[in-house]
Structures are given as C-alpha cells and as structure tokens.
Amino acid sequence: MPDAYELVQLKNGTWSVRSTAEGETFHPVVGPEAEAEALYVRGLQVAERMAAHLEGPWVIWDVGLGAAANILTVLRALPAGDRPVRVLSFDHTLEPLRFALKHSATLGYVAGHETLVEELLSTGRIVRDTGPFPLDWELHQADFPTLLNGPGATSWPSPHVILFDAFSPGRNPTMWTLPVFRRLRELAQSSTPCAMATYSRATLLRVTLLLAGWHVGVGHATGEKEETTLAANRPELIQEPLGLEWLQRARRSTSAEPLHTPEYRQQPLSAASWSALQAHPQFRS
C-alpha cells in the first residue's frame, strides 16, 4: 500500500505535503509558508488586527490543521506581548501533522516548533505562559461538520480569524456545504469581528458564503495571479467586496448553486438563490 502522505517539490523548489489518497497537494501554488503568509498573515491582517485588539484572548480557528503550515506561519507573525492567543485546530486526522514533524528539516516551517508540535500531538492541548505570548492551543480531532453541530460547539470562544483550508470542493464536498458555512457564521458571533480566508475563488463558494450570511470579497493573491476569497461578519473587514459586476457573472455561471448536501455537483443558480443573493446587504446601496 502506498504511504498516505508524501513530500513533493514544487516548481519554485520549495517542498509541500501531498495526500496520496485525496490526490491533492496541501499548498500547491507557492508552497506552505509563502501561501500561508499571503493568504492568512497578510490577507487577514492577523498581526495588525491582534495588535489593535485590547480585550481578552485573540482567537484563531484553524480549520483543516493538516500539516500545520498555516497555523505555525500565523503564530510566527503575531506580535509578542501579554495578549493571550487561543487556537482551536480542527482535523479528522493527525497523520499529516505527524508526517510534517518527521520531515521538519525538509519542510522548513516546522523548524523551531518541533517541541510545541510534539506536545500538541501527545496531549491534544498546550497551555503555556512562556514564549512570545501566552498560548492556549487545542486540537479537535473529528469530522468538522459533525462537530460544528454537536453540543460542544456553542462553548467554543468566538473566532477573530478563521483559516479555512479543506481539500477542494470536488474532492471534499462535505466541508463546503451551505449548512457548514451557515453554522460557522452563527458561531462567529456578530459581537466579535471575524474574518475568514480561503484559497478558493470559485463562484459556487462565494455564493455559498453570501447566502450563509457572510460579507464576501476578493482575497489576497497567493501566486502571480491567484485570486482568493475573504469573508467577514462585518463589511468593514472586507477591503475589496464583490460588487454588481461579479453578481451578474454569478447569474450567468454554470457552477454557482451552493452545495446543499455533501455531494459535489455543478449547477447554475436556482431562482430562490438568485433572489436571496440580490437581497444580500452587500448588493444594496
């Protein structure tokens, strides 16, 4: 049987992790660290927003922990100080993280964090007062959509940022449904300003986010031209909101209807979705 994960070298020479079962590379465009920096560090302005956040812990939800490139790169970028950082990482398997630890020298971004990762893998939760900032990092190993609807989810601290990194909707539809993003929007309470970034720019995803109640805009590019998506529970967190031109393109798209169930298919917008989309506050001036 082939190994479940392997190292792949990208065109720019950096190394990334590939799931052989899913046939997908974790950070296929510019590599783990560069993608995490563009999409999450700069795209979500994590350091600036955390520096301006003066009360209570700064809360990060890391959806699709995988080999931890996103979260380790984000943690490295946060300002040092007394402000506590709370991280909730979600994945149904810890195998990619074990794999990354084993290959930390090649992957690079794990370097210096080996002890932290080892402790997280063995205990499932790290609470530390030493280091650049107080850190409380907990693992939730389970099917994410199931967990979101379970009894524990309402006691999670509301997030300031969400790093959303599942496999592609075609491969991993269960993570990209309208009910998942609706539930995430409910849990990202309006009293806590929250922004969520993800690598996809698909019309289907953007419609899903809008119909789930998020404000949605163009996210930071990760490669030369790779546009991504930024969503937020407040319009002021979106620098480049999707506008009327995008709305008309979505209407003509052959793949715009959200996934209502965890089954991938491509369909144009239904009449009900089109009417709900037009009524979204983002398109009413």
Q: Which is nearer to ligand SAM, 18 or 185 (CB)?
A: 18
Q: Identify the CA nearest to 239 among candidates 247, 231, 250.
A: 231
How do the residues of the chain divide into helix, strand and coil, expressed in percent and rounded to 5? Answer: 35, 20, 45
Which residues are CB-contacts of 64 (< 8 A; sequence separation ≥ 6)? 90, 91, 144, 163, 164, 165, 166, 167, 175
* Binds ligand SAM by CB under 6 A, chosen from 74, 75, 87, 91: 91
Q: Identify the CA nearest to 63 among candidates 211, 167, 154, 135.
A: 167
Partnered with residue 163 across adjacent β-strands are: 62, 197
CB distance 182 to 234 below 8 Å: no
Residues in the chain: 285
Q: Which helix (H) or strand (E) holds 212?
A: none
Q: Which is nearer to ligand SAM, 36 or 256 (CB)?
A: 36
Quick check: 166 binds ligand SAM (CB under 6 A)? yes
Specify the 3-state DSSP secondary structure of 161. strand
Give the pair of three-digit tokens for residue 119.
């402790």
Q: What is the DSSP secondary structure assignment for residue 236, as one 8-state letter?
A: G
Supply the minimum distance, in Å, between the C-beta of residue 264 and ligand SAM. Answer: 13
Give the binding range for ligand SAM (CB under 6 A) out of 5-13, 50-58, 164-172, 206-214: 164-172
* Binds ligand SAM by CB under 6 A, chosen from 40, 58, 144, 164: 144
Quick check: 174 binds ligand SAM (CB under 6 A)? yes
Q: Which is nearer to ligand SAM, 76 or 92 (CB)?
A: 92
Quick check: 34 binds ligand SAM (CB under 6 A)? no
Quick check: 172 binds ligand SAM (CB under 6 A)? yes
Quick check: 173 binds ligand SAM (CB under 6 A)? no
Sign, CA torsion 14/18/90/213: positive
Q: Which is nearer to ligand SAM, 28 or 213 (CB)?
A: 28
Quick check: 175 binds ligand SAM (CB under 6 A)? yes
Quick check: 20 binds ligand SAM (CB under 6 A)? no
* CA distance linking residue 190 with residue 211, whole number of Å: 16
Give the pair of three-digit tokens for residue 210.
């809008």
Q: Which is nearer to ligand SAM, 65 or 211 (CB)?
A: 65
Give the binding range for ligand SAM (CB under 6 A) out of 4-12, 49-57, 161-169, 180-188: 161-169
Supply the minimum distance, in Å, between the C-beta of residue 254 and ligand SAM. Answer: 26
List binders of ligand SAM among 48-77 (CB under 6 A): 64, 66-70
Quick check: 103 binds ligand SAM (CB under 6 A)? no
Range list of H helices, the chain: 32-36, 46-52, 69-77, 95-102, 104-107, 114-123, 144-148, 178-187, 203-211, 244-252, 271-278
Supply the minimum distance, in Å, between the C-beta of residue 225 and ligand SAM. Answer: 21
The residue ranges that bind ligand SAM (CB under 6 A) are: 26, 64, 66-70, 90-93, 96, 143-144, 165-167, 172, 174-175
